[in-house]
Structure 1
Amino acid sequence: MEKVFITVTGTRHYFGSEFLEKDVKLFLEKEPDNEYDKEAIQVLCEGLGKIGYVANSPYTVLGESFSAGRLYDKIGESAVVKVVYKTDCGIVCKVSKKSLLDNKI
């Protein structure tokens, strides 16, 4: 199975990203009622709540990361990710294998 990565974006609108280090576990949760993006997936951190979103724009998706739209149907209502890299442009996380529905990506 191929490794699946996502980019976390928008952290500056919440708590920033200074606390995010390699291997920090984060949680993804679909947000179908989002008025701006029907494929929105929010990123949550235990103890803080929402810290950003899975990038869904060609301008915010880093490298080979999946966009929220590309990931949306491959997970259930929620998923677990771990931080892999942190850059000035976003945070790249790896989606846990258990979070992927069909395990055939």
Structure 2
Amino acid sequence: MMFITVMAFNNFHGDKPLKLGGIIKLVKEPDNKHDTEAIACEMRYFGKIGYVANSTNTVIKGCMSSGRVFDKITDEYYAKIKFITGSTVIAKILSADEFIKEIENPESDVHYLSENPSKIDIEYIKNHYIPDDENDES
């Protein structure tokens, strides 16, 4: 399993986007002026909520940094929130099979976060998303 630390912004008012099981869209930002391996995190209703941590001071032990994940994912990828402490989140990067299950669920936030949900190509996912055997515990 591949876990990431998400450093969420603290400026949420009213409803908070962070909930266990919530889907996070990961968006690469190679033109980010602060970090060329930046990965933004977006959630339904809230838009950008923060970034995948990329510093030894912010990455929680057992999680992968943005730099380690950057070349393993496509420009648009997805993760699921597993743990929350304040504005810090640990999320599991979805495998191809897990993402396909999310697509098959009409209530999944994936349908609202995808740039073009009607054109999600299952074969593309199988060929470009992390296979289950690379995302399993070893």
> For the superposition of Structure 1 and Structure 2, which TM-score range results when normalised by the shorter chain?
0.7 to 0.9
Gapped regions of structure 2 (runs ≥ 5) = 100-127
Distance in 1, Cα, partners of 2:32 & 2:12:
20
Choose between structure 1 and 2: higher strand proportion.
1
Any idea what the Cα deviations from partners look like across 1:52-96, whole Å, max 9, x if unmatched? 000000010012111000000000101111110011461000000
The share of aligned pairs that are identical, in percent, is 35
Q: Which of residues 77, 80, 83 in structure 1 aligns to 2:81?
A: 83
TM-score with structure 2 length normalisation? Answer: 0.66
Check the 8 A contact 1:30/1:42 in 2, yes or no: yes
Structure 1 residue 101, shift from structure 2 partner: 3.9
Q: Which has the higher contact order (CA 8 A, sep 6+)?
A: 1
Distance in 1, Cα, partners of 2:130 & 2:84:
28
- Name the Cα RMSD after superposition: 2.1
Q: Which of residues 15, 23, 26 in structure 1 aligns to 2:12?
A: 15
The 5-angstrom pairing of residues 2-81 of structure 1 reads 3-12=1-10, 14-15=11-12, 18-81=16-79
Structure 1 moving runs of 4+ over 6 Å: none
TM-score with structure 1 length normalisation? Answer: 0.85
Gapped regions of structure 1 (runs ≥ 5) = none
Distance in 2, Cα, partners of 1:10 & 1:19:
10
Choose between structure 1 and 2: higher helix proportion.
2
Aligned residue type for 1:87: T
Aligned length: 102
